[in-house]
Amino acid sequence: MAMMSSSGRAGDRRVMSEINVTPLVDVMLVLLIIFMVTAPMLTQGVDVNLPKAAAKAMRSDEDRLVITVDANSRIFIGKVPVEFNRLGGALRQIVSKRPDRLVYFRADRSVPYGFVVKVIAEVRNSGIEKLGMVTEPLER
């Protein structure tokens, strides 16, 4: 027969008041892995292999309009793809809202020169007064 303690209870049980942090650490590690995997996917843009030239760097604090021609001869205004035959109309709309009429142009070095000249001519015909060329700095 089991003997009872002097307090009259079968066992000495105490309430455990500690927080179990193992599930918290598990959840945090899973979230960390998810963010590490998804962060590189959030950066979007147009990959362009720019030609190199000796020129001063542009200020990055400007809100500038950039026209890009990628290696596959696709045209982008900012990050929005535009067909060549609609480039002039789209630029006229954008430039009518901008007082500076300044556009930066960048093209991949593998794009044929003739196509680059056609795009520049279309940009100039749409009312752009200043056209800046974006290049990579020369390595020294």
Split at pLDDT 50, 70, 90, the class of 65 is confident
Single-letter amino acid code for the residue at 123 = V
pTM over 0.75: no
Going by C-alpha positions, the residue among 121, 3, 20 that lies closest to residue 67 is 121
3 state DSSP class of 25: helix
CATH tag, 52-137: 3.30.420.270
Domain boundaries, the chain: 52-137
The whole-number average pLDDT for the span 27-45 is: 79
Per-residue pLDDT of 93-119, as tens digits, reads 887 887 777 788 888 888 888 888 898
The CA distance from 76 to 92, in Å, is: 15
